Amino acid sequence: MREREGKVAVFGMGYVGKALAAVLLRAGFSVVGVDVSEERVRELNGGIVRHVEERVREALKRGLTEGRFAATLDGVGAARSCRVKIITVPVHLRGGWEPDFSSLLAAVEAAGRGSEAGDLVVVESSVPPGTTVNVVKPALERWSGLRVEDELLLAYSPERVYVGRAVEDIEERYPKIVAGVGPRSTEAARRLYSAVARRGVIVMSSPTAAEFEKLAEGVYRDVNIALANELAKLAAKLGLDYAEVREAANSQPYCHLHMPGVGVGGYCIPVYPRFLLHAAAKVGLRLPLVELAREVNLSMPGYTADLVDMVVGDMGLSRPRVAILGLAFRGGVDDTRLSPTYDLVDHLLKRGYDSLVVHDPYVASDERLEAVGVPLLSDLERAVEGSDVVVIATDHPQYAELTPEQLLSLSKRPRLGIVDGRLVVRDWRRLPAGVYYVGVGRPLVRGS
């Protein structure tokens, strides 16, 4: 076997790219990680792996020590040294709606220029339906000078990972979806992923079908969360606990209500509906349910700010200090991409709340908060001390352990308002004197 036979170039060393590289290394492959960030490449080659998962950090460090992993800025060189090239770089949105393929095409160009006949290129990025066939394929043929399927193999295989358990998802939890532009490409991709996915490989009829499948997963969750948010608002108005209603309803096997919250973040669920809406518009179709779900979920930071107003008004406060707990878009991770906390901060600032602080146990610094003059703290006691209102914006496990009594004690105030944006507070109906509580899906309750 030639030296490049057992090597894989992974384009994009973000959350997904690092996790995929780790899984490949664990399966015995050698990996070259490609990224445009000089700092990230320098850190990786120096053994500094910034990732929430210990197994990812361990695999990359071990691969580096064993000489089976290296990071580089040179995508063409990486492609030339590897038989397989996997692209995980994101497709961003331009102007809120239009997909921006520039990063994807830059990776395709490098992969194409470094390809030989018989090589395999796989796109794992989430993309609008038709991207692999209509955007990637012609670009790959142009830059490689090879005919796709006849000389160069091309497939689509969507990443299906949950940040925080990506290694488990790829290796054990989910089957891998693959679809090539032809039978040879499909078989090559199937064989590649069969080496890492213990749940097996699902072969779909076309890359476009596989692209659509990935987006459908995310849009299902976006619509379900929007429904949860609507039901939560009504439950609160009726004096009910949405969490109680949800638990009982989900005991029926055909019901799977999600949890409500401050909003939907991350670079998946908020973006995938836009890709589907873009594809629908190109064929003259509207998807009103998908559009409405996006509107509902985008409105939730403003709704949470309304709850802050409610508590502040009920307490008769004039210039309250507000502590927001959680900047990451989801509990237990440090990923702040499209976090609804940013929108919540913007809403509160526009409403005149000029004494804000954000706490997160996983995020050390943040340029967006610095730009608007809002401190980001990692010390919970320091963040809550002196606060009149605490807003729980992220379901970090540390926050689920807090009781109203503890928060009141940490605030060192005689009274404290709690806005529970993730319904993590227990015993919220039995509050100590001086605590005012309201949740996204729970009514306002005063301690006595």
Q: What's the DSSP call for residue 152?
A: B
Bridge pairing between strands 92-94 and 98-100: antiparallel
Q: What is the C-alpha to C-alpha distance for residues 182 and 344, in angstroms, rounded to an integer?
A: 47
Q: From the CB of residue 248, how many other CB atoms can be counted at a distance below 10 Å? A: 11
Which residue of the set 7, 82, 137, 268 is catalytic? 268
Ordered alpha helix ranges (H), 175-206: 183-194
Sheet containing strand 120-123, edge to edge, reads 69-72, 30-34, 7-11, 84-87, 120-123, 153-156, 176-180, 201-203
Which residue of the set 214, 237, 282, 350 is catalytic? 214
Q: What is the C-alpha to C-alpha distance for residues 330 and 439, in angstroms, rounded to an integer?
A: 17
Q: What's the DSSP call for residue 204?
A: P
CA distance to 58, 140, 154, 266, per residue, from 72 (Å): 19, 21, 23, 26
Annotated active-site residue 255? The verdict is: no
Q: What is the C-alpha to C-alpha distance for residues 167 and 52, in angstroms, rounded to an integer?
A: 11
Catalytic machinery residues: 214, 268
